[in-house]
Chain A
Amino acid sequence: MDNISPIISFFVRQGVPLETVILLLILPIIVTLIAFFRQVVGIKAFGIYTPAIVTFAFLAVPQLRYGVIVFISVILVGMLMRVALKGLRILYLPRVAITLSVIAFSILMLLALGGYMQRTGLASVTIFPILIMITIVEKFVVVQIEKGNKAAVILAIETLVISLAGYYLASWPLLIRGIVAFPWMILITIPINIFLGKWDGLRLTEYVRFKDVLKNLK
């Protein structure tokens, strides 16, 4: 690093790893991005927690594609489990428990399969991102129950899109260098969020949803 702000050096001297400092400082940017996606673009995803945590999971895997593979596998198995458990008619928590267990097995199989196919990168994914992605299935199941499979899949795709955007933003070297040099710059996310919180215009997706109405208004 060429240019390190004194406050960052202070954190590092106190024994906080530089990577942790950067991740914590990048969090406000990621959540602001998610808020922007919701309020202005109209991409909902599963709330703010899920896309944020998935972004960090993506940052923690050695290669992005393995993170995406795990994410997609989790959602696919979640969908299959809904069909499989439909006839059983059991209550919510036991149902999610069974779904989570089956997903855990499936991921284990996936990792082994990766190793067998000489894709050692997949097997070397650490447990933290895997666990995160397995637990997001609860969000997925809730939406499945409340709004159906289609809505849940759409939200899952939206989550994936936002998380990928967050991933690319957070691994953008220029941004990281900027944060290290001028950490106070993070504070602009607060006025940005105040603006987003008062933004009452149509979301971009609403322009599509209401296109027929817009054509009809004089």
Chain B
Amino acid sequence: MFEQFKNARKLLGLNARNLNYIRPYNKKKSKRLADDKLLSKRALRKGGIPVPKLLAKIKSAEELENFDWASLPATFALKPNRGFGGGGILVVYGRKKVSKKILQADEQAISEPVWIKSDGSKVTVSDLKSHILNILDGAFSLSNMPDIAFFEERLTLLKLFKPYAYKGIPDIRVIVFNRIPVMAMLRLPTKESGGKANLQQGGIGVGIDLSSGVTTTAVLGKGKIVDYVPGTRMLLSGIRIPYWKEILLLAVKAQEISGMGFLGADVAIDRERGPVFLEINARPGLGIQVANLAGLRERLERIKGLKIKTAARGVRVGRDLFGGEVEEEVEEISGRKVIGTIEKVKLIGRNEKTVEIEAKVDTGAGFTSIDTDLAEQLGFEDTVTEFQKIEATYQDIKHLSKKERWDIYKHIPHLESTVVINSASGSTYRPTIKITVVMDGVVIPTKVTLINRAHLKYPIIVGKRNLKKFLIDVNK
């Protein structure tokens, strides 16, 4: 019980959010910016942040009467300027084709297009008009203030998200404080949420590891922990969010522009445009803590008062401080390090000569092989020159016994052995030398083969023999 109360101090409740973060860090002026979607859209665009294109806006009933409906594209989103919690948003996916018969019979049909919603139902101009009237009247705005309606470009769904999202576009919520991304979640629309990504409306929130951008745990609606998308076998953990660094950077830049100290940034990913900034939120919800099974308050307190000069630095600090749990977990369980396909290595050759370089991790290769130039840098100049003097092709010496072959090569200084390498370009005998490879902190004394890799991008590939202590993550 006492433990529970101690842990409770790590969580951010509504009281603490309002009192310690929103009140002191979000000034009234900047909150007004966040609550006004058109205004914040303009400010963000000026700041170089990609936002959905504004198609048209309607400020009054008079403008509504004179609106040219034919100017709207086949697909768009209609939104209230001061809406909140995803209320009052209407999205159409296509325009209904008007058949020729009707065209001839009724002039009216030409000037009045009909659109289709995601559930297949029709939206006529009079439907739009009545919805816009409601918006203008303030039916969806905070405290029912008269509002503006606007049309904007509808974003297209990323293929990766297709099996997870029910109609609608998932987005990524990032909590930013003091120029540092603090916590993030992927929000998926569900059947219950009617294609909206808000948790309040019944969407799914999936926690994201800040450093890798890989999803972890998930919550459905306001508090139910789930592993799969309801009604499917689509696992919610382990989704790698593309453009992760860019998304965090956009969120921090938006915070700089907004002038708010504490905010929730919503970023979506468009199939063609990549990350697109949706909106800033002055009062971000707290369900993100359930999605991540982690406390916000503890994180916020750790970075309070840090001096962060640039957005890029803030992103780095956030990823270092609050990320990394997923990978560490895998490493803990397997007892192996997780590496990517390109990894920085330190090579130690003769007389402690060292070279630091990027290596390609190649599970198709048995031995690790390094470029001859690299071998020279490691103190094996003699080995390389002497070996190149011997002109013996594979065909010439393959019939010789092991000992006979070794007699040809044994005078070469520091040569360890020769090995047959079968590759796409034929088989060759390659010289091997003994060096030490240090990769991700693991020290591996090993035999490596020498070959001219001058025409290749990476002067070293690390083969299977040296990868036993690692797991390879191709996304890293």
Contact = CB atoms under 8 A, between A and B. Distances in A.
Contact of B11 (A92, A199, A214): A214
B289 interface: yes
Nearest to A93: B137
A209 B10 contact: no
Nearest to B202: A148
A202 B11 contact: yes
A207 B8 contact: yes
B7 A214 contact: yes
A209 B222 contact: yes
A213 B200 CA distance: 18
B294 A213 contact: yes
A201 B137 contact: no
A24 interface: no
B393 interface: no
Given A91-B134, A147-B85, A210 B11 contact: yes
Contacts of B225: 212
Contact of A203 (B9, B10, B14, B20): B14
A118 interface: no
Contacts of B19: 197-198, 200
A92 B146 CA distance: 12
Interface in A160-211: 197-203, 206-207, 209-210
6 contacts: A91-B139, A199-B15, A201-B8, A201-B16, A209-B222, A212-B290
Contacts of B7: 214, 217
Nearest to B293: A216
A92 B8 contact: no
B276 interface: no
A106 interface: no
Contact of B290 (A197, A203, A210): A210
B64 to A, nearest CB: 14
B4 interface: yes
B130 A89 contact: yes
A98 interface: no
A97 B8 CA distance: 45
Nearest to A40: B15
Best-surrounded residue of A42, A146, A213 (most CB of chain B within 10 A): A213
A206 to B, nearest CB: 5
B223 interface: yes
Interface size class of A (residues with CB under 8 A): 20 to 34
B366 interface: no
Interface string A136-170: 00000010011100000000000000000000000
B87 interface: yes
Interface of B: 4, 7-11, 13-16, 19-20, 85, 87, 130, 133-134, 137-140, 144, 200, 222-223, 225, 289-290, 293-295
A209 B290 CA distance: 8
Given A145-B139, A201-B16, A212-B225, 5 more contacts: A91-B139, A92-B137, A199-B15, A202-B13, A206-B11
A31 to B, nearest CB: 18
A213 B87 contact: no
Contact of B144 (A92, A199, A216): A92
A39 interface: yes
B87 A200 contact: no
Contacts of A42: 14
Given A146-B87, A147-B85, A213-B294, A92 B139 contact: yes
A207 B10 CA distance: 12
Contacts of B133: 91
Nearest to B292: A213
Contact of B15 (A142, A201, A209): A201
A213 B16 contact: no
Task: List the 8 closest A-B pairs by CB distance, nearest first.
Answer: A200-B16, A202-B13, A216-B293, A217-B7, A206-B13, A202-B8, A200-B15, A200-B19
Contacts of A207: 4, 8
B157 to A, nearest CB: 26
Interface in A64-92: 89, 91-92
A188 to B, nearest CB: 21
A135 B133 CA distance: 25
B20 A200 contact: yes
Given A89-B130, A92-B138, A213 B11 contact: yes
Given A91-B137, A209-B223, A214-B4, A203 B87 contact: no
Contacts of B140: 146
A207 B130 CA distance: 43
Contact of B223 (A199, A202, A212): A212
A217 B297 CA distance: 12
Nearest to A44: B14
A92 B140 CA distance: 10
A82 to B, nearest CB: 13
B203 to A, nearest CB: 14
Contacts of B294: 213, 216-217
